[in-house]
Amino acid sequence: MNKIKVGIINVTGYAGVELARLLSQHPEVELTSVTGRSTAGKKLGEIFPHLASLDLMIQTELSEVDLAFSAMPHQQSAEEVIPLLNRGIKVVDISADFRLKDETEYPHWYNFTHPTPELLKEAVYGLTELYRAQIASARLVANPGCYPTGAILALAPAVKAGLIEPDIIIDSKSGVSGAGRTLKLQSHYSEANEDTTAYALAGHRHLPEIIQELGMLSPGQSPEITFVPHLLPMTRGILTTCYAPLVSGKLPLNEEGEEELKQLYQDFYMGEFFVKVVELPPHTKHTWGSNFCLIHPTIDHRTGRLIVVSCIDNLVKGAAGQAIQNMNLMLDLPETTGLKSPAIYP
């Protein structure tokens, strides 16, 4: 039986090359076309020897495919996606160009005016655990950002149940690959090694995405979120710790309350293959190379605050793996196809 043909725009970024790695093992699709800018005309295996078995030439434009992944930078991605949709090709966009529903947010957070605001209404936010049915029938899916994936999955059950006040603090720590493959001073080895730093304290561009999605889970109550990302000297992984005051009287501030909280999270994610509620705070190593999100909810008895810790691999569940999870749904394939591998440990 012929496999479904898929392609990657901008295979040479970290998300693009991770997509190629994961798709090379997918039993139902065939990666038949990849593009790049400075590397066009070269063999994929020449640039990335670990992918030499794919025997693909990097092109300037995609050949005919059934579904395309756009791993272009923000703003440039929309320019690539629009012609693909016009050709009847389904698209999973890994950039932020279709994540926000409010077009007025783009000039503020991404410094451009959106060229097709009508597509913002059509695009489905690709957090599979929340939008599974809509993704299955979509022709354009906006793959979530890496930080929002960990934060939204950590907070969604509590927000949906009305357990917490809107004043939420999200503290996230990411590996250097989250900064992308383009050379930057802060990601040079001698700058990042043996160093940890907070950044974007005035507001990270993933913040409106988090506000948008948590707000949809609790209509009528707009979340007030403080989000502070940090850069850690590791290659992959995001550890997110979320804090919020519990609504008075919702849960007892003792071990019984902790058990009720854990049960609420387990019920919310019942049947979800890739989201696991765990007994102990997870480590980034526990998700390295996998499409899993591990979540540990608990209560600070002294202050009456919810504390939730989540871990993901920023390049898999935070980017390429989640994109393939979305692709599987869009192509009417089992959602877990090609993604069941556990984390690499240690």
In a domain, 329, yes or no: no
Q: What is the pTM of this model?
A: 0.97
Here the CATH number for the domain that contains residue 299 is 3.30.360.10
Residues 39 and 73 in one domain: yes
Q: 276-296: per-residue pLDDT in tens?
A: 999 999 999 999 999 999 999
Burial class (CB in 10 A: 0-12, 13-18, 19+), 76: middle
* SS3 at position 217: helix
Q: Give pLDDT, residue 2.
A: 87
What's the pLDDT score for residue 182? Answer: 81
Looking at the fold, whether 48 and 110 belong to one and the same domain comes out as yes
On whether both 99 and 180 belong to a single domain, the answer is: no
Structure tokens at 46: 């020449």
CA 282, CA 308: separation in Å to the nearest integer?
Answer: 10
Residue 108 lies in a domain: yes
Residues written for the chain: 346
Decide if 163 contacts 247 (C-beta within 8 A): yes
pLDDT for 81-100, tens place per residue?
Answer: 999 999 999 999 999 999 99
What is residue 259's three-state secondary structure? helix
Closest CA to 280 of 255, 268, 262: 262
**Percent of the chain, pLDDT > 90?**
92
> Does residue 333 lie in a domain region?
no
> How far is 332 from 108, CA to CA, in rounded Å?
37
Distance CA 211, CA 256 (A): 30
Q: What is the dihedral of CA 86, 136, 309, 151, to 10 degrees?
A: 30
pLDDT score for 1: 67
Note the pLDDT tens digit of each residue in 232-272: 999 999 999 999 999 999 999 999 999 999 999 999 999 99
Q: How many helices (H) and strands (E) does the chain have?
A: 11, 14
Mean of the per-residue pLDDT values of the chain: 96
- What is 46-115 written as a DSSP string? HH-GGGGGG--BEESS--S-SEEEE-PPTTHHHHHHHHHHHTT-EEEE-SSTTT-S-TTHHHHHHSS--S
Same-domain status, 158 and 263? yes
Q: Is 343 inside a domain boundary?
A: no
- What type of residue is 324? I
User: So which residues are the catalytic ones?
Assistant: 146
Query: 305 and 251: one domain?
Result: yes
For residue 221, tell me if it sits in a domain: yes
Reply yes or no on whether the pLDDT at 183 is more than 80: no
Question: Residue 310: beta bridge partners?
Answer: 240, 295
The total of structural domains in the chain comes to 2
Distance CA 69, CA 11 (A): 9
* pLDDT in the model for residue 179: 85
Question: Region 212-231: what's the mean pLDDT?
Answer: 94
pLDDT (0 to 100) of residue 187: 86
What's the domain range around 108? 4-122
Q: Answer whether the bond into residue 208 is a cis peptide, omega within 30°.
A: no
Q: Is 31 left (phi over 0), alpha (psi -120 to 50) or beta?
A: beta
Give the CATH number for residue 8.
3.40.50.720
189 Cβ contact list (under 8 Å, min separation 6): none
Q: Mind listing the pLDDT tens digit for each residue in 137-146? A: 999 999 999 9
Q: Is 2 helix (H, G, I), strand (E, B) or coil?
A: coil
CA 6 – CA 62 distance, rounded (Å): 9
Residues forming beta bridges with residue 141, ordered by sequence position: 92, 124
Identify the band that residue 107 occupies on the pLDDT scale cut at 50, 70 and 90.
very high
Q: Is residue 339 included in any domain, yes or no?
A: no
